[in-house]
Amino acid sequence: MSHAVSPLAPKSYPELPTIGGVRFATAEAGIKYRNRTDVLLVVLDKGTEAAGVFTRSKCPSAPVDWCRAALAAGGKARAVLVNSGNANAFTGKRGRETVKLSAAMVAKAVGCTPKQVFLASTGVIGEPLPPEKFDGVVEAAAKRVAEGGWLDAARAIMTTDTFPKVATRTAKIGGATLTINGFAKGAGMIAPDMATMLSFVFTDADIAAPALQAMLKAGVDASFNAITVDSDTSTSDTLLLFATGRAEGAPRITDPRDRRLAEFRAALNDLLLDLSHQVVKDGEGARKFVEVRVKNATTKAAARKIALSIANSPLVKTAIAGEDANWGRIVMAVGKAGQPAERDRLAIWFGETRVAVKGERDPGYSEQAATDHMKREDIVITVDIGLGKASDRVWTCDLTKEYVAINGDYRS
């Protein structure tokens, strides 16, 4: 079950500063893995505000249902319990029971209400997750939580990930300097019988839950909602954002349109983009990181759909794996997207090389230049629809034999 680290992994990890009001402990609960941490407990100071976005799946996991209800109950957070090895998804009544019992367990250990506890699980689908797995583990973890240890926290929630994904930014609101730290896991939308993109972001800014939620929702649209490894959507995707308000002199923000938020919003969006790109770079079997740009579409929604049609096309992705500047497949993917497009207005670039224009091969096109671009680790594909003014970008990876091997050769 161990795979070589992705060739697209970062060469080094940033040092994440502590964030006032955020403390961690990891533990080995033996849920599925042995000799590795599989539980993460985060304890948050009183007054922490929460926001979250979740999978659009019609079959969400029990923890996703729980978090949605917890957010609706007021958006206050005191703790987060995450486990890897079991997704507690499609586990029926027992799954709901486990969620309730483990939230109660955390609430008791931390001293808060169950609705202030957020839960996330990643791993096997359909396998019951006995709440006894957390017996003693949560209590002990609650006693030794400490600031710092971000990389360990990121490691505890990994499943088929080949590297931990962390990011940090700072930004000013008024005179105060705030920190934002985040980590994520995810390698396929679902890895062999395991699930999910999970991401947790923390800041010491003092922002009320509704404002936090508005910023998060806007931020994911151009980051986590704009990435695709294999077009498959997990039942457990969860992204939570917590604001402790503990930074010195941090002004209280309640309106997402507050102009003092500009720099913070940019830093948050940048961090979300960074984390989402790391998820793609750890895509199962990935060797190439691909940006698909669509411009001059009729609407932004059309641009997004065309970009995703390209990014999800098995034939485009296998061509990229083969370092093949196969622009005919881009035409095919534009054509099947079902969005306004006219063959005779299309232009296509690989990197800086325009390979097709006005519905046919670019007469001046250099096959060598296009092929050189395909040999890079970072590929940029640009499509000009020529019908409007809207543009969008999405990111994906190539489709290799390793993807099939990871997902088809065995069941873990």
The residues annotated with a catalytic role in the active site are 196
Window 234 to 253, contacts with a copy of itself (CB under 8 A):
234-235
- The b-or-e profile of 120-150 (16+ CB within 10 A means b, else e) is bbbbbbebebebebbeebbeebbeebeeebb
Candidate segments 146-154, 164-172, 247-255, 396-404, binder of a copy of itself by CB under 8 A = 396-404
- As measured in angstroms, the least distance from the Cβ of 63 to a copy of itself is 13
Nearest to residue 351, comparing CAs of 327, 328, 332, 334?
327
The verdict on 126 binding a copy of itself (CB under 8 A) reads yes
d(CA 110, CA 9): 36
Single residue of 38, 204, 206, 230 touching a copy of itself by CB under 8 A: 230
Report if residue 231 touches a copy of itself, rule: CB under 8 A: yes
State the minimum distance, in angstroms, from the CB of residue 200 to a copy of itself. Answer: 22
Determine which residue in the list 37, 43, 75, 127 makes contact with a copy of itself, applying CB under 8 A. 127
13 binds a copy of itself (CB under 8 A): no
Q: Of the candidates 49, 193, 282, 384, which one interacts with a copy of itself according to CB under 8 A?
A: 193
Within residues 298-337, the interface with a copy of itself by CB under 8 A covers: 312-315, 318-322, 324, 326-329, 331-337
CB 380: neighbour CB atoms within 10 A?
Answer: 16
Question: Which residues 6+ apart lie within 8 Å of 78 measured at CB?
Answer: 43, 44, 46, 48, 107, 110, 111, 112, 113, 116, 117
CA 381 to centroid of chain Cα atoms: 22
Pick the binder of a copy of itself from 25, 216, 346, 379 (CB under 8 A).
Answer: 346
Interface with a copy of itself (CB under 8 A), residue from 7, 111, 249, 408: 408
Q: In terms of CB distance, is 97 or 139 closer to a copy of itself?
A: 97
Q: In terms of CB distance, is 27 or 346 closer to a copy of itself?
A: 346
What residues from 57 to 96 belong to the interface with a copy of itself (CB under 8 A)?
A: 57-60, 89-95
Tally the residues of the chain.
Answer: 412
Comparison of 15 and 409: residue with beta carbon closer to a copy of itself: 409
Q: Which two tokens stand for residue 185?
A: 């896991």
Task: Compare residues 74 and 328 and give the one whose CB is closer to a copy of itself.
Answer: 328
Q: In sequence order, what are the beta bridge partners of 95?
A: none
Element (H, E) at 239: strand 238-243
How far, CA to CA in Å, does 262 sit from each of 37, 145, 258, 271, 365? Answer: 38, 33, 8, 14, 42
